[in-house]
Amino acid sequence: MTEQFSRLHDVFNTKHLFVITSHVNPDADAIGSEVALALYLKGKGKEVRIINQSITPDHLLFLTKLFPVHTYNSDLDLHILDADCFCVVDTNSPKRFSAMAETVAKSNAVKVCIDHHLEQESFADLYVIDTDVPAASELLYRIFTDDDPALITLPVATALYAGIMTDTGSFKFPKTDAETHLITAELLKRGVDPYAVYQEIYESGEINKLHLLGKALECIEVHYNGRVACMALPRSVFTETRTTEADVDNLTQYVLSIRNVVVGLVFIEQPDGVKVSLRSKGEIDINIIAKKFGGGGHRNASGARLKDITLADAVTALLTSIKEIV
Ligand SMILES: [Mn+2]
């Protein structure tokens, strides 16, 4: 990692115009990482713009008050083409920022990828990837401290904290270790208010979101002697509850909450197919299954998008495929 860190510092020190992006449907680690990196680079006197494919969900808007986040449209292409450094955080797959991927490929900017997911794809000039850290935000903390800890101001620390808190499931997911807690302690020492961040992210929802959750919980089914739990949401639940897919948050925790369940699947019907989130406990490698369906992620947490398939057929296909590993 030391080698990659110093190459990254070289790029950061020699380039001036930066564009940062992350994945479609950004979560708090995506936006937290982007905002923290943008503020850090600004602290080094750089010009920075964050451009995302999707809009920022309501519960993460507080992060965009720390640094603006633009939603991509072709008018922004010139910024991507003009940039001399293009940074991708919290994903390593151009498919996950596909709307602007073509422009990015045309740009002469040095492409940097800072991430913690498996199966890196070939598109960047420099990869700083650590699949052992629970959050891209944790990796960024290490990058910043390796350069100059003074650049971790309170807004930077707040953005990093949001990413680490959410990607560790509030400090409980498997990759949470002593280092994560030590880093978190450093962020708190810089003045981060953990309850304020928690409230913004988890205590600022609408009642419709709970009605959606109610319907989602009601449809959970178990298979294979209770070892696999499945939740399958048709698009109609969003109209019924006056919600959108952006209101779906971490539903996988509920399928995994059942005793003896080792694999949890959450399906959400899309206009052009089905999106599935896959989770597993312990040694079960769910990423193998996600890859079979053109997706990917981590051993215990992956995702895939199945095109031109009904919800019912997607459930059957996944359950059939999973049989061999449970
Ligand atoms: Mn992440």
**Other Cβ atoms closer than 10 A to 107:** 20
The most distant pair of C-alpha atoms in the chain lies apart, rounded to whole Å, by 59
Question: Is 287 found in the same domain as 186?
Answer: no
CA separation for the pair 51, 30 (Å, rounded): 12
Question: Is 309 found in the same domain as 188?
Answer: no
Task: Tell me the average confidence (pLDDT) per consecutive run of 10 residues in the chain, 326 residues long.
Answer: 93 97 95 98 98 94 98 94 97 92 94 92 94 97 96 98 96 94 98 98 91 96 97 97 86 94 97 96 95 92 95 98 92
Question: Is 243 found in the same domain as 99?
Answer: no
Question: Is 135 found in the same domain as 86?
Answer: yes
Return the closest-CA partner of residue 323 out of 230, 216, 256: 230
**Other Cβ atoms closer than 10 A to 325:** 15
The CATH number given to whatever domain includes residue 279 is: 3.10.310.30
CA of 35 to the centre of ligand 1 (A): 14
Domain hosting residue 245, numbered range: 207-325
pLDDT of residue 1: 79
CA separation for the pair 112, 69 (Å, rounded): 19
CA of 240 to the centre of ligand 1 (A): 31
CA of 55 to the centre of ligand 1 (A): 17
Element of type H or E holding 268: strand 263-270
Question: Is 218 found in the same domain as 120?
Answer: no
Let me know: does 110 contact 125? Beta carbons within 8 Å: yes
CA of 222 to the centre of ligand 1 (A): 28
74 burial (CB, 10 Å; 0-12 / 13-18 / 19+) is exposed
Let me know: does 86 contact 56? Beta carbons within 8 Å: no
Question: Is 303 found in the same domain as 257?
Answer: yes
pLDDT of residue 247: 81
CA separation for the pair 116, 281 (Å, rounded): 19
Question: Is 218 found in the same domain as 189?
Answer: no
CA of 28 to the centre of ligand 1 (A): 8
CA of 21 to the centre of ligand 1 (A): 13
CA of 299 to the centre of ligand 1 (A): 14
Q: How many domains does the chain have?
A: 2
pLDDT of residue 317: 97
pLDDT of residue 180: 98
Which of 202, 231, 264 is the last residue in one of the domains?
202
CA of 139 to the centre of ligand 1 (A): 10
CA of 225 to the centre of ligand 1 (A): 32
- Alpha-helix runs per DSSP H in the chain: 2-14, 28-43, 61-64, 77-82, 98-106, 136-147, 154-167, 178-189, 194-202, 207-218, 236-240, 252-256, 287-292, 311-322
CA 229 → CA 12, 217, 260, 278, 287, distances in Å?
Answer: 45, 11, 10, 10, 17
Question: Is 268 found in the same domain as 198?
Answer: no
Which of 154, 184, 202 is the last residue in one of the domains?
202
CA of 116 to the centre of ligand 1 (A): 7
Question: Is 179 found in the same domain as 221?
Answer: no
CA of 176 to the centre of ligand 1 (A): 13
Question: Is 261 found in the same domain as 191?
Answer: no
CA of 34 to the centre of ligand 1 (A): 11
